[in-house]
Amino acid sequence: MRDDVLTGGFSDAPVQSARAFRAALDALARPGRIVTLSGGAAPAPLSTAAATLLLTLCDGETPLYLAPGHDAPQVRDWVAFHIGAPIVGPGEAMFALGRWAALGRLDHYPVGTPDYPDRSATLIVELDRLAADGARLTGPGIATEARLSLPETAAFEVNRTRFPLGLDFFFTAGTALAALPRTTRVEAG
């Protein structure tokens, strides 16, 4: 087992996960807001923010899909050692992690049911950069409008039209994190 598999967990899980959750809550409640997430470190190619988010939200009860590029032996070992989430295909995933293109078609992920729209996947999308520019965001959590450097707009707009069903997204780049709940209206910038 590689050294970086055994390291990179939280040194003070209760406090670090509390701070990370608050940042993630803030990001999801205010789409477009970019927050800093750190404390976790996973083998490449995982960003610090993605590793920290996994440590904060995932455990043995959260089936996880690793998209091609992120599905590497050292990543699987790290997840098994620190998180214990079962690795599954996209159709069973509660969380999915990967780069935008690698995550593939969004209709492969659970979007919830009419009775339980919360039983839907959360996608963690790794980007090269995350900035308050690009696509125009409006909707709950946004006073007027926000901008976010999304990888595209059409897929998110399709996702929104399925409300209350749908997927929710976190975007990560380095230690930066932003989010897009299914309620956000996304228009090309």
Partner 1 sequence: MSAYNFAYLDEQTKRMIRRALLKAIAIPGYQVPFASREMPMPYGWGTGGVQVTAACLTPEDRLKVIDQGADDTTNAISIRKFFETTAGVETTERTGEATVIQTRHRIPEAPLGDDQILVYQVPIPEPLRFLEPRETETRRMHALEEYGLMHVKLYEDIARHGAIATSYAYPVKVEGRYVMDPSPIPKFDNPKLESAAIQLFGAGREQRIYAIPPHTRVVSLDFEDHPFVASKADHACDLCGAEQSYLDEVIVDDAGGRMFVCSDTDFCATRQAEGHRGRFSPEAAE
Least separation, in Å, of the C-beta of 68 and partner 1? Answer: 25
Give all strands (DSSP E) within 15-134, no chain letters.
35-36, 64-66, 95-99, 122-126
Q: Which of 34, 35, 46, 58 binds partner 1 (CB under 8 A)?
A: 58
Of residues 126-155, those binding partner 1 (CB under 8 A): 140-143
Q: Toward partner 1, which CB reaches closer, 18 or 158? A: 18
Site membership for partner 1, residue 158 (CB under 8 A): no
121 contacts 85 by C-beta, under 8 angstroms: no
Name the residue with tokens 């380095």. 174
Least separation, in Å, of the C-beta of 142 and partner 1? Answer: 6
Q: Which of 102, 168, 174, 175 binds partner 1 (CB under 8 A)?
A: 168
Q: Toward partner 1, which CB reaches closer, 72 or 165? A: 165
Largest Cα span, the chain: 50
88 contacts 63 by C-beta, under 8 angstroms: yes
Closest among 177, 176, 180, 148 to 167, alpha carbons compared: 180
Least separation, in Å, of the C-beta of 165 and partner 1? Answer: 9
Site membership for partner 1, residue 29 (CB under 8 A): yes
- Rg, the chain, Cα only: 16
Q: Do β-strands 168-173 and 176-180 pair in parallel, antiparallel, or remain unpaired?
A: antiparallel
Binding residues vs partner 1 (CB under 8 A): 13-15, 17-19, 21-22, 24-26, 28-30, 56-59, 61-62, 114-118, 120, 122, 140-143, 163-164, 166, 168, 181-183
